[in-house]
Amino acid sequence: MFKTIATITILFLSCVLSACSNDHLSFKTVKGGVINFKKHQDKLMVINYWSATCLPCIKEIKVLNTFYQQHRHSDAIVIGVNYDDVPPKKLKQLIKHFDIQYPVLVNDPANILAIGHINYLPMTYIFNAHGKKLVSLVGPQRLVQLQNSLAQVKQMG
């Protein structure tokens, strides 16, 4: 009887502990790659929602490209999410047309990351590697705003 209770307890605890991991924070990109938060424990995830019909979104792409190039090897990764939910083939065309240099996800991670409904575009969120939302940035961002937000998040610990 004791062995049975001990076995059930161990199984229960292992299930609970595995549910608390960030293994589920893995997302496919349009170009066939995978963004896995667990793999990037030392980086922040900057997730930007955009639309091809949103002029401020399109203008912000250059800023996000620059930010991505400056930070991708050190402390942050920019990840794009198309708000329009277009098919991957069309999304590849948009990525090429707008010269998006950072990864763009195939599917919207809003439910998994508990973002909620997106009410404004562009919308940018900064997450830690455990999927915790740290900052929400409404509207188009300038490079200095992104860098200041990143610095503030780092100071928070």
pLDDT (mean) for 89-106: 97
Q: What is the pLDDT of residue 26?
A: 87
Q: Which amino acid is at 74?
A: S
Q: Domain tally for the chain?
A: 1
Q: CATH no. for residue 31?
A: 3.40.30.10
Q: What is the pLDDT of residue 138?
A: 97
Are the C-beta atoms of 27 and 115 separated by less than 8 Å? no
| Tens digits of residue pLDDT in 120-138 | 999 999 999 889 999 999 9
Q: What is the pLDDT of residue 70?
A: 97
| Tens digits of residue pLDDT in 139-148 | 999 999 999 9
Domain assignment of residue 137, given as a range: 2-156
Is the model's pLDDT at 34 over the cut of 60? yes
Q: What is the pLDDT of residue 151?
A: 94
Q: What is the pLDDT of residue 23?
A: 57
Is the model's pLDDT at 17 over the cut of 70? no
Higher pLDDT, 8 or 52: 52
pLDDT (mean) for 83-103: 96
Higher pLDDT, 127 or 17: 127
What band does 44 get if pLDDT is binned at 50, 70 and 90?
Answer: very high
Q: What is the pLDDT of residue 85?
A: 87
